[in-house]
Structure 1
Amino acid sequence: MDPTTSGRFRVHDRRRRPDIADESDGSDPGAADAEEFVLVELADEPVDPTAPDAEDRYDPLYATAEGYEGDLGEAVDALRPGFVVDATLAWTDGSARFRDVEVVRETRFRFADDVEGMFEAAVETWRQIRAEGEPVGSITTRSNDGDPNGALYLFADAPGSDTFDEVRTGRLPIEPLVARVNESRDDDGPREVFVLRPAAHEFVAVYVVFDRDGVLAQTVRDTYDLGAGLAAGLDASYPGGDDGDSLVSDAADDAPGESNGSDDDPLDDDDDFDALDRL
């Protein structure tokens, strides 16, 4: 009997298997398109960042994305990057396959490289971070009404490095950033996490939007062509700047039925939070 692993996992990404893509000789056209899930196992309790094995707790593992049948096949096909699942994985010759899987939270992860028109909140924050000589930093963004609506983390992407690839492959874990937001909020709603690398700047933005179905998430999706969104762009104003506007220029993030953050959100009091303090 194949050994199994059961637990709660984040579906970090779905991708072509790099070993197949790199080594295929072209004799099997289907092999070159074989896909796998990048998974991150979630701990039952918060991870102590000072523990010797803290960084290893977020090491990615990989599960075959194809070749399932019946109800299990439908469940696997429905998985999207960002989903949290309870699953059992069976291991055969070092490869993992889902034995069973159930979605418990539909947070979404979306990745976009070489994006044009990076919103001003990120650009201005990055300038401040670099002026202070720091490689990482973060701010809390707000709606037009002043309610917190997202946590924006910025990482240096210096020449010779590939921070975007490290984040997308799970080698640079962003799970602590999502966990920090979840711990600070008073709701269990799904988030939307955007990982963006601008063409004109040397940083990578990880934007954890509090409400996946809110105006802000829809606007970011629409602006960077990452799925269904609003027919609107991001305002080029910096939260807390001279005009006091939010990221969203023509719609507040408090439309009927949408969730607002509370004014005493812990993220609000810690705009100098080091994005790596949980790693």
Structure 2
Amino acid sequence: MNPTTTGRFRIHDRRPRPVDGGDGPAEFVLVELPEGPIDPTDADAAEAYDPLYATATGYDGDLADRIADLDPGAVVDATLEWTDGTARFAEVTTVRESRFRFADGVEGMFEAAVDAWQGIRAEGEAVGSVTTRSTDGEPNGALYLFADGPGTDTFGELRAARIPVEPLVDRVNETCGDDAPREVFVLRPADHDFVAVYVVFERDGVLARTIRDTYGLGDGLAAGLESSGVDTIETTGAEGSADDLDAAADGERDADGEFDLTDRL
């Protein structure tokens, strides 16, 4: 009988494993979610969010349908069956439909991120965070910024889950007081030396849909308005769309440490 692992997992991504050129079959990148909070000072904290991989193809029947519906970001309760070091889903149930979206070489990075990064670098820091707010002043997202200089691949490390995203989502959940579905955007701008991890509080809110519109990452604000029976809006190129995004996400530095990155990593 093959060994099994049962637990709650984040579907971090679905892609070929980033080894040997990354041209193998698509696999799920999974992160097992701990049952309780992780103490960052614990000796084993660095290994708490280590990624593991599960086969994404070759399933049958109802299980195949459920596997096909799994998108990056979803949280699932699952049993994995191991054969010769390879994991396959034996059972899976989606419990939270969050979304993760990854975009490299982003053109027209929005001003809140660029301004925040300039402030972080002026202070000699390699990571930092801002809370963004809507036009009515309500917090709508946590924007984390990581250095991505020559000789590094911070975007690749984040996408492969070797730099964990989960503590950032955990911190947002703690601050918001719930574990509602979020939308997480991992963006590497073409013209700047940082990577942004933007945890948007409302998965299908105006901010999330505006980001999707701006960077071509799926159904955006116009689609949402159409589905609501509202006239569609026009979006211009990256520059015009970035202006819309800046209006939806006005950022301010977290001087009080409300979203302090380093206290969870």
TM-score scaled by structure 2?
0.87
For 1:183 and 1:211, how far apart are their aligned partners in 2? 15
Match of 2:229 in 1: none
CA contact (8 A) 1:121 1:236 kept: no
Which aligned pairs between 1:163-174 and structure 2 lie closer than 5 A? 163-174=154-165
> CA offset at residue 18 of structure 1?
4.3
Residues 151-199 of structure 1, C-alpha deviations (whole Å, 9 max, x = no match): 0000000100000000000100010000000111134421000000000
**Contact kept? 2:207, 2:245, Cα under 8 Å:** no
Cα distance in structure 2, aligned partners of 1:219 and 1:175: 23
**Matched ranges for 1:134-153 at <5 A:** 134-153=125-144
Match of residue 209 from structure 2: 218
- 1:236 Cα offset (Å): 7.1
* Alignment-derived partner of residue 258 in structure 1: none
Residue 79 (structure 1) aligned to one of 70, 95, 98: 70
Change (3 A) 1:204 1:136: same
Q: Distance in 1 between matches of 2:101 and 2:53?
A: 18
Give the equivalent residue in structure 1 for 2:86.
95
CA distance in 2, matches of 1:153, 1:270: 15
Answering whether residue 140 of structure 2 is matched by residue 154 of structure 1, we say no
268-277 or 60-69, which deviates more:
268-277
Where do residues 98-113 of structure 1 align in structure 2 (5 Å cutoff)?
98-113=89-104
| Aligned position for 2:40 | 49
Instruction: Tell me the amino acid that sits aligned with residue 146 of structure 1.
Output: G
State how far apart, in whole Å, the 2-side matches of 1:145 and 1:220 are. 18
Q: Residue by residue, what CA displacement relative to the aligned partner does 1:38-81 show, whole Å, maximum 9, x if unpaired? A: 00000000001110000100100000000000011111110000
- Gap change, CA 1:20 and 1:130, over 3 Å in 2: closer
Which moves more between the two structures, 91-100 or 32-41? 32-41
Gaps spanning 5+ residues in structure 1: where? Answer: 23-31, 239-244, 249-266
User: Is 2:118 the counterpart of 1:132?
Assistant: no
Q: Which residue of 2 aligns with 1:263?
A: none
SS in 2 for 1:98: strand
Counterpart amino acid of residue 104 in structure 1:
V
Which structure has greater helix proportion? 2
- 2:187 counterpart (189, 193, 196): 196
Alignment of 1:274 with 2:256, yes or no, is no
Q: Which residue of 2 aligns with 1:9?
A: 9
Q: Distance in 2 between matches of 1:191 and 1:56?
A: 24
Q: Which runs of 5+ in 2 are unaligned?
A: 223-234, 236-240
Identity in percent: 66
The answer to whether the Cα contact below 8 Å between 1:140 and 1:271 also exists between their aligned partners in 2 is: no
Give SS of 1:58's match: coil
**Can you list the C-alpha shifts for 1:77-115, whole angstroms capped at 9, x where unaligned?**
100000000000000000000000000000000000000
User: What TM-score, normalized by structure 1, do the two folds share?
Assistant: 0.83
Distance 1:140 1:18, change over 3 A: closer
Tell me the SS of whatever aligns to 2:198: strand
Which whole-Å CA distance do the structure 1 matches of 2:154 and 2:8 have between them? 26
Distance change in 2, residues 1:269/1:94 (3 Å): same
